[in-house]
Chains A and B, each alone.
Chain A
Amino acid sequence: MKTPLLTWLLRLVVMCVVGFLLLPAVVVFIAGFNDRAILSFPPQSFSLRWFERALTYPDFRHGLRNALIVMVWTSTISIVVGAAFAYALNRYEFRLKHTLEAILMSPLMIPHFTIGLGLLMLGTQMGFARTFGIVVFSHIVIVLPFVIRSVYISMQNLDPRLEKAATSLGAPPWRVLVTIVLPLLAPGLFSGWLFAAILSFNEFTGSLFVTSQATQTLPVAMYNYVREYADPTLAALSTIYIVITATLLTIANLYLGLGKVLNVEQSR
């Protein structure tokens, strides 16, 4: 049987879209192996020296360390705060619930540079402009809506009757939380944490305003680098970036695939 024309067209469109999505990454990936000290495409000769430079350049090492510090604090604090808000939004009815929901989601509508600028001015006024605190704070503001969404969705799959059953069996609220709610939300919490971590690790626009020389994160260090040099180090670094993130996501997806099975079981 011949495949209809329409199906072929559809496949073509899908392949084009996938191609466009991957194109920048592919160009950068290849450019990173160029031996010459210019960012150009396609490369004329092959070398791994820019990878070496990317991994040894002091600003990048420093930036990576800062980015990881900020990432861990941001994702951990925002998962705790986000989970608490998501739980409240999901389980309780209260006045101004919709207002709170709107406020929590509002960072989605505010440009990151506005958040960065606002916090910079506030930080300068109050004397904490050059600290990690302000960087972490700005990242939390930016990632919180995503975290709340992520936890909220997995919470909707959590049957309130499980908590009631545990309560009737004699579990006080904190033991219900520890023995029932947290284990069952673990996949959702973990994916929310990971989401927050990736967003924070990649965040640039807001960070540009609130970081100082001492607290600059890797994306900011990269931006500063590209203003001075035009060699393929950044391309090499981008490749490292992509490989690490992709690996993390793959592992997470394996874990979340399992999580989905658990959720189906619960809602049955």
Chain B
Amino acid sequence: MNSLADLPRTTDIAGQPNAAKPAVRIDGVSKAFGDVTALHEAWLAVGRGEFLTLLGPSGCGKTTILNLIAGFLEADSGEIFLDGAPITNDPAHKRQIGIVFQNYALFPHMTVEKNVGYGLRMRGVDKTEIARRVGEALELVKLPGYGGRRPRELSGGQQQRIALARALVIRPKVLLLDEPFSALDKNLRSAMQVELKEIQRSLGVSTVFVTHDQSEALSMSDRIAVMSAGRIRQIAAPGEIYRAPADRFVASFVGDTNIFQATRVSPTSVIVGGFLIDVMPGPLEGTIDGQEVELFARPEELSLTSAGAPGTLPAEVVTKVYQGGYSDFYVTTPLAAERVLVRIHGPAALELWPEGAKIGLVLPKTGANAFPPGE
């Protein structure tokens, strides 16, 4: 992030004194398509230089937010600000926003050079300046000398870099990325993720990234806004989203999780199978002591040991999957309705127990989350 000291200190419209103007602010924006509400009164601020991810399943409203910021959709209510100025009623072509689409959307009838220079030509920048900045942009995405090629002559990864260069060359106030990696194969995808992150950080460009891929969101973002059914469920740093999800949806959508039947004994502790477990404060507000709740535990928070050991739940190995550096054990236990996934690190873990073995399942003492039973 840019140093906060560089940013102008003013009172923003929400009346918070001395808050730096965010790159993008969305104030209570709603959008409906016919009878379907795509977005319920969303509130969101993207800091200067921040990489913010909108994460959620398809139809959750993340692309709607992107289209609202870009100006491709009109908000039904609420206001959108760019660098502190309201842009809710500005047409899309006046917003100074860079976008990279899933299919890159390069203009097939133009060379790479013309594609990258398009935004500058639209701004009436003079020819030598265009040539210079296009050259710089191609340098930035490590494709210098590709200016004369046609988009169809480029690989998927190269097309994506050109799309990125085209969006960045206009020095956008915010960069919008619409699932840009989903068309790439797995190896190329991780390489491009690292590269994009480096470019984003070196330019300090504020970025809104839309994805349904939770691992992509966890690895790239400064903050993640998890969305479902047109609502933002939680906005927080990746680590917090993973460790302290705000609700059942976030807990099960981000990362793998296991659900156990539990009983609340205090706002911050539950009992599972006779063992007292401390949980994150918050989600159990609104429940009472003695109420049936559910404990969510990550696969790596669980461990296995020999059957009948003190402090364990009785369990049985159903399937195991070797993953190289770790092994996934699927076990059953009477206290969980679904099969429980336990992730054991170390290359030799697979040999520890055969399928069908009776074992003891060890629950975490602290750090897990409990939620009221839901849908």
Residues of A within 8 A of B (CB): 159, 161-162, 164-173, 175, 179-180, 183-184, 262, 265-266, 268
Contacts and interface: CB of A to CB of B under 8 A. Distances in A.
B109 A169 contact: no
A161 B122 contact: no
B99 A168 contact: yes
A265 B152 contact: yes
Interface of B: 70-72, 91-99, 101, 103, 105, 107-109, 118-119, 122-123, 151-152, 166-167, 170, 176
A162 to B, nearest CB: 5
A187 B107 CA distance: 16
A265 B108 contact: yes
8 contacts: A164-B99, A165-B107, A166-B122, A167-B71, A169-B170, A170-B93, A171-B122, A265-B108
Contacts of B152: 265, 268
Given A175-B122, A268-B103, A168 B97 contact: yes
Contacts of B166: 165, 169
A97 to B, nearest CB: 15
Nearest to A168: B99
Given A170-B119, A170-B122, A265-B151, A164 B105 contact: yes
Contact of A161 (B93, B105, B170): B105
Nearest to B176: A168
Nearest to A262: B108
Contact of B72 (A159, A164, A171): A164
A162 B115 CA distance: 11
A168 B118 contact: no
Contacts of B167: 168-169
Nearest to A266: B108
B70 A164 contact: yes
A184 B119 contact: no
Nearest to B99: A168
Contacts of A159: 103, 105
Contacts of B122: 166, 169-171, 175
A183 B107 CA distance: 10
B108 A184 contact: yes
Contacts of A172: 91, 93
A262 B99 contact: no
B92 A262 contact: no
A268 to B, nearest CB: 7
Contacts of A268: 103, 152
Given A161-B101, A168-B98, A180 B119 contact: no
A262 B109 contact: yes
A210 B195 CA distance: 68
Contacts of A171: 93, 118, 122
A175 B119 CA distance: 11
Given A165-B105, A166-B118, 7 more contacts: A161-B101, A164-B99, A164-B101, A167-B71, A169-B98, A184-B109, A265-B108
A168 B82 CA distance: 14
A171 B181 CA distance: 26
A166, A167, A171, A175 — most chain B CB neighbours (10 Å): A167
Contacts of A167: 71-72, 92-93
A179 B118 CA distance: 10
B107 A168 contact: no
Contacts of B118: 166, 169, 171, 179
B160 to A, nearest CB: 13
A181 to B, nearest CB: 11
Nearest to B67: A164
Nearest to B156: A268
A165 B99 CA distance: 7
A173 B109 CA distance: 18
A171 B97 CA distance: 12
A170 B99 contact: no
Which 3 A-B pairs have CB atoms at the shortest separation, nearest pair first?
A: A169-B119, A170-B122, A161-B105
Contacts of B105: 159, 161-162, 164-165
A169, A172, A173, A183 — most chain B CB neighbours (10 Å): A169
A247 B108 CA distance: 29
B29 to A, nearest CB: 19
A266 B108 CA distance: 6
Nearest to A163: B105
A184 B110 CA distance: 10
A89 B72 CA distance: 19
Contact of A170 (B72, B101, B123): B123
Nearest to A183: B109
A164 B71 CA distance: 10
A168 B105 CA distance: 12
Contacts of B95: 168
Given A170-B119, A184-B109, A165 B101 contact: yes
A93 to B, nearest CB: 10
Nearest to B183: A268
Contacts of B170: 169-170
